[in-house]
Structure 1
């Protein structure tokens, strides 16, 4: 491993350490937020977002969106009022760095790690934990999630409990985007690794017990990066784009991720009942995030909502597509334009083929649906999007877009000087419709650095927020969050 700081790294020139992405270090509590408009009194719960936020100035390298300490930002809603708290996810590496007052670990691309004289024998030569991507609640556990490692358990006040390995059943951890079946309550997870088995999947039951331990996905013989997954009534769906880890290149000062488009993109359909794995393949594309997936018998009847679909019925997968990997490097140094858009893939399990249709060619990311529709047909997809401004940083968006799968139409709320984050759906209690609820997100004003919690009505989202709560600290842009209604 490297034990020195590469001189060429200059954090002041890294876009994702600047502007609306710049980290904050203050942890604050505010009991009653200033609100413009009226917060829906029916919404009671916690809007919680996790994201990369280096506690100290990075050394060696910094690769957004993977590097950085996790920071949780929470807005609690109750009776039309809001309170706020933010907290770092307190990993052993963060606590070791706090003791000396500066960074000791470099970013993933630098492979810079401290020695025993700096951090003691237990942490010497180890990579830092990075639970900075997502946060979920399942079976009473609130989990801050890393790209592919053990999550960290968080308590109700956003304090860090510690590393979570599910009673030793998932010692390698999980990735940042597990999917919870709203009907069965199961959470389906996957994990990739640098050594065989390179890809595994597991199931955690409604009660939090692991009901299927790490199960290898046959046919994966190299370490690959897979950020997200999807779920249907029958399958766990994994998209294997040709993004391969190359540790030899990283040790030689190159990128630790290699984009190899000649290998194409494969989709693994993993039967949740343990049946035969199905594969489909197509030309190379990259995705960060799926929207949703469902089984489709073509008759408009069973849609994966618990019925007996034909074993060979197609799988429909909606996702945000990119023409190539948008992080790390490749043979061309990741130069040139990157195409993207909202895409629907129709996958034939029997033929091993897939057809792709562009639903919306706008520049979009961070897609979300009503989580109650995961694995079933959905109508509305919310996404962060751009209005065409040329002064935004990579990964920065200044509008929210909603796509309607029934009509094929889209509506947009331009956010003006606000840079917006991922929209998350909060349903009205007791209502089942995707139009009966609100879309929640953080946004930061590019002119003065102020941050806001926005509440946008699902019935007419293009009309913009019905309420804005002023956040007492700037909330750095990215990444993922959730709405956690108050549990009875």
Structure 2
């Protein structure tokens, strides 16, 4: 019998372990950061971002953005001054590796797991926790989020408190991209799994109690990856692209994710009142991130509008082969919940990712979308962006700020206190992001005015350590 022998893994050849993506190991605290320009007095709170940051050199494989330990980077702003702190999300696997002084788990594609002699019986032959994708605050809980697993709770100083299963009601975990309804305060989540039920959804109320436990979504008959979701007043909206998990293939040297475009892409509208899901089907496309969704009218037959970044196929890891180029763009879909049909319109054909709106507009009609984009430079790594783009859906126009030698991350909106955000536009506020200089590795926290974003930052805060390009963050105004 032939035994599969995995190929030698060389982390020095993995793009997302190099350059602006390269992990850092030092945890630091620095006050009175250097500021170029002037931090607005209106900003009083914490900008917090999560992202993959392996504590030790990976073994077996490394697949960005799925693999890695979580590291939180926080910038506290008050009175025109700023301080910085970064901390690992301290999972049992990370602590076991620190005791060993090396990586014990391989990347997801390698399926390397430690033995009981190495980590004890509880952790042996298990997948590691990877709360390295997103971070949110809900009902007083600050949660570092994994792809589809239990988040880890951290305190206000970013110290890890432990795995959060919401009183044991959500033991399988939740998505890395929950959506918080700004009107009801509910946090709507989903979770996909490798065993039935393959997809469930749940609701956590304003006070943090689970008001709807894991509810299976009928019509999902195999394990598949679903990264993000959207929310309207009536529905949870999920895009089910044909990216299926195949552990048998992974165990024999194949990919853990199989792209099956002949299956097409489905969108499911899950009524928040518990009614049966509504489905629409179209040709295959992939979605990492949604922008926002809303009900286009008050009636039960009103269409659902969904904006998202569309990719022509699944994209993970390195660049596409030249003979199989990948296209992407900002797309609007209109979904008819009665007819089960979907029409898609390309809004902007720029190469973009990490879309965000003013979070006060989640589930309601929005006007502006901010996205990371690229200018066409040949020296950018896959998933690296050197500009920020703002698309105005009412005008059908874009504004761009080109960052030069800076590689920029996801833009997050911070409203000025007292601005309502009720019209679908930013009525006063700033877009925030980390950026790293590709020439010298210096990292900055940027503050960009919403009224004239193309003019660039009004303040640049020098971060005392390099912040690896990562994933998702949030603005947390100081709670009274």
* TM value normalised by structure 2: 0.97
- Structure 1 gaps of 5+ residues are 298-308
Partner of 2:356: 368
Deviation at 1:336, TM superposition (A): 1.3
C-alpha distance in 2 between matches for 1:34 and 1:328:
35
C-alpha distance in 2 between matches for 1:170 and 1:323:
33
Pairing 1:29–2:29 present: yes
| Deviation readout 1:203-240 (Å, 9 max, x if unpaired) | 00000000000000000000000000000000000000
| Deviation readout 1:48-74 (Å, 9 max, x if unpaired) | 000000000000000000100000000
Partner of 1:311: 300
Partner of 1:304: none
CA separation of 1:48/1:320 partners in 2, compared to 1, >3 Å: closer, same or farther?
same
C-alpha distance in 2 between matches for 1:281 and 1:269:
12
Deviation at 1:6, TM superposition (A): 4.0
Partner of 1:473: 465
Deviation at 1:42, TM superposition (A): 1.2
Name the stretch that deviates more: 433-442 or 340-349.
433-442
The answer on whether the counterparts of 1:257 and 1:328 sit within 8 Å (CA) in structure 2 is no
Equivalences, count: 473
Partner of 1:87: 87
Pairing 1:438–2:430 present: yes
Pairing 1:322–2:322 present: no
Deviation at 1:122, TM superposition (A): 1.1
* TM value normalised by structure 1: 0.95
Pairing 1:460–2:448 present: no
Name the stretch that deviates more: 381-390 or 334-343.
334-343
- Aligned to 2:335, the other structure's residue is in SS state strand
| Deviation readout 1:365-417 (Å, 9 max, x if unpaired) | 00000000000000000000001101100000000000001100000000000
Deviation at 1:432, TM superposition (A): 1.8
The answer on whether the counterparts of 2:407 and 2:438 sit within 8 Å (CA) in structure 1 is yes
Deviation at 1:277, TM superposition (A): 1.1
Pairing 1:70–2:70 present: yes
CA separation of 1:124/1:334 partners in 2, compared to 1, >3 Å: closer, same or farther?
farther
C-alpha distance in 1 between matches for 2:84 and 2:225:
34
C-alpha distance in 1 between matches for 2:299 and 2:420:
27
Partner of 1:346: 334
C-alpha distance in 1 between matches for 2:4 and 2:97:
16
The answer on whether the counterparts of 2:241 and 2:285 sit within 8 Å (CA) in structure 1 is yes
The answer on whether the counterparts of 1:255 and 1:328 sit within 8 Å (CA) in structure 2 is no
Partner of 1:56: 56
Deviation at 1:276, TM superposition (A): 2.0
Superposed structure 1 runs of 4+ greater than 3 Å apart: 3-7, 332-335
Pairing 1:166–2:166 present: yes
- Aligned to 2:50, the other structure's residue is in SS state strand
- Structure 2 gaps of 5+ residues are none
Deviation at 1:175, TM superposition (A): 1.0
Q: CA RMSD in A?
A: 1.4
- Aligned to 2:417, the other structure's residue is in SS state coil
| Deviation readout 1:229-267 (Å, 9 max, x if unpaired) | 000000000000000000110010110000000000000
Partner of 2:284: 284
C-alpha distance in 1 between matches for 2:257 and 2:192:
14
The answer on whether the counterparts of 2:116 and 2:124 sit within 8 Å (CA) in structure 1 is yes
Pairing 1:126–2:126 present: yes
Deviation at 1:335, TM superposition (A): 6.1
Partner of 1:358: 346
CA separation of 1:333/1:165 partners in 2, compared to 1, >3 Å: closer, same or farther?
farther
C-alpha distance in 1 between matches for 2:355 and 2:452:
18
- Aligned to 2:276, the other structure's residue is in SS state coil
C-alpha distance in 2 between matches for 1:217 and 1:310:
24
Partner of 1:302: none
The answer on whether the counterparts of 1:5 and 1:112 sit within 8 Å (CA) in structure 2 is no
Name the stretch that deviates more: 173-182 or 432-441.
432-441
C-alpha distance in 1 between matches for 2:378 and 2:265:
31
CA separation of 1:340/1:259 partners in 2, compared to 1, >3 Å: closer, same or farther?
same
C-alpha distance in 2 between matches for 1:97 and 1:341:
40
Deviation at 1:270, TM superposition (A): 0.2
- Aligned to 2:12, the other structure's residue is in SS state helix
The answer on whether the counterparts of 1:328 and 1:334 sit within 8 Å (CA) in structure 2 is no
- Aligned to 1:52, the other structure's residue is in SS state coil
CA separation of 1:328/1:64 partners in 2, compared to 1, >3 Å: closer, same or farther?
closer
Partner of 2:413: 425
C-alpha distance in 1 between matches for 2:382 and 2:280:
31
The answer on whether the counterparts of 2:149 and 2:174 sit within 8 Å (CA) in structure 1 is yes
